[in-house]
Amino acid sequence: MKNCWVFLFLLVLNYLMAAVMDSLLKHPLETVRFNILSYFFVMDRAEYVILAGFLLLYVSQQVLQARKKRSRQQ
């Protein structure tokens, strides 16, 4: 669970930094919002596959750790 919080913190920090940089460059708010969302609009099919693979790997690793922890307790 700690990994999820670290990931979310870094994700929010990344988006916040991008928004602050855009606003410091005097972009209108609509452009700032679009630039934040454009990270996912410019991804190729292969990048989506890699993202899905990493998410699947992460979830399976967490499930295996939970099973291992549960078996140690019994």
Mean pLDDT in each 10-residue stretch from start to end of the chain (74 residues)? 84 89 90 80 85 93 91 82
Yes or no: say if 51 and 39 are a contact pair by the CB < 8 Å rule. no
Domain ranges of the chain: 1-42, 43-74
Residue type, 65: Q
Considering the entire predicted model, what is its pTM? 0.53
| 56-60 contacts at long range (C-beta below 8 A, 24 or more positions apart) | 58/3
19: DSSP letter: H
